[in-house]
Amino acid sequence: MVTTFSDPFEALLRLQRALEGRLASDWLHDQTTSQGPFPPINVFQQGDDILAIIELPGIDKNSLQIEAKENTIRIAGQKSVANPGGASVHRRERTFGAFDRTLSLPVALDPERIKAEYRDGILALHLPRSERDRPRTIKIA
């Protein structure tokens, strides 16, 4: 075994960076409360139902994979950026790569009636609440 003598402060700093990196990742909490990962999601209430609006410009509709189960929705896909050949690049700000994100909601959903719509680079998910989760009015007899 090779022992290397290194600065103990360096080791501490490495540990701190690793801990911070863990906090920044969505490994432990892939709930909606984790911020940062792609794609950004806005969730709205529409009557009793929920509407999630996701910004996903320039995605091939067929590469998008949306799965729903009880109260979680998984959105996965590939964002690619076309590069015209034989040209020099001056600026490259658009991101690309594979993404996979799970959204957990505090209410039960009806997976059968979920509707997804992709237009102008915006993915809208209509998430109806499941019948058994809906609030019921109770009449006083």
Partner 1 sequence: MVSSHELQAQKKREIAGKEETTIPARLFVPAADIYEAPDALTVILEMPGVEKSNVSISVEDGVLSVEGRLDLSKYQGLQPLYTEYNIGHYSRSFRLSSKIDQSKIAAEMKDGVLSLQLPKVEQAKPRTIQIN
Instruction: Assess 62 for contact with partner 1 (CB under 8 A).
Output: no
Question: How many chain residues are in contact with partner 1, going by CB under 8 A?
Answer: 50
Selected from 12, 48, 55, 134, the binder of partner 1 by CB under 8 A is 55
Please provide the size of the chain in residues. 141
Instruction: Assess 83 for contact with partner 1 (CB under 8 A).
Output: yes
> Residues 108-127: x/- map of binding to partner 1 (CB under 8 A)?
----------x-xxx-----
Picking from 75, 69, 80, the residue whose alpha carbon sits closest to that of residue 43 is 75
Q: DSSP readout, 43-72?
A: EEEETTEEEEEEE-TT--GGG-EEEEETTE
Check: CB of residue 81 under 8 Å from CB of residue 58: yes
Q: Which amino acid, 29?
A: H
Distance CA 84, CA 127 (A): 38
Nearer to partner 1, 1 or 84 (CB): 84
Q: Collect all residues with Cβ–Cβ distance below 8 Å to 36 and sequence separation of at least 6.
A: 24, 26
Instruction: Assess 59 for contact with partner 1 (CB under 8 A).
Output: yes
Nearer to partner 1, 16 or 27 (CB): 27
The minimum distance between CB 38 and partner 1, in angstroms, equals 4
> Residues 27-46: x/- map of binding to partner 1 (CB under 8 A)?
x----xx-xxxxxxxxxxxx
Distance CA 63, CA 66 (A): 10
Residue numbers of the site for partner 1 (CB under 8 A)?
A: 18, 21-22, 24-25, 27, 32-33, 35-46, 50-51, 55-59, 61, 79, 81, 83-84, 86-99, 118, 120-122
